[in-house]
A = this chain, B = another copy of it.
Amino acid sequence: MDSFASAAPRLPHPQTPGRPCSIAAALALVGEKWALLAVREVALGNRRFDAIARNTGAPRDILTTRLRSLEAVGVLERRRYQDRPPRFEYHLTVPGTDLLPVLQMLAAWGDRWVSDEPPVAYTHQDHEFAAALMCGTCGEEAVAGTVHAHVRAEGWDRRGPVAAAEGN
Contact = CB atoms under 8 A, between A and B. Distances in A.
Nearest to A96: B113
Copies in the complex: 2
Interface string A3-23: 001000011111011111111
Given A135-B129, A138-B124, A115 B22 contact: yes
A147 interface: yes
Interface in A86-127: 95, 97-125, 127
A147 B126 CA distance: 9
Nearest to A39: B23
Interface of A: 1, 5, 10-14, 16-29, 31-33, 36-37, 40, 44-46, 51, 54-58, 95, 97-125, 127-142, 144, 146-153, 156, 158-161
Contacts of A56: 17-19, 24
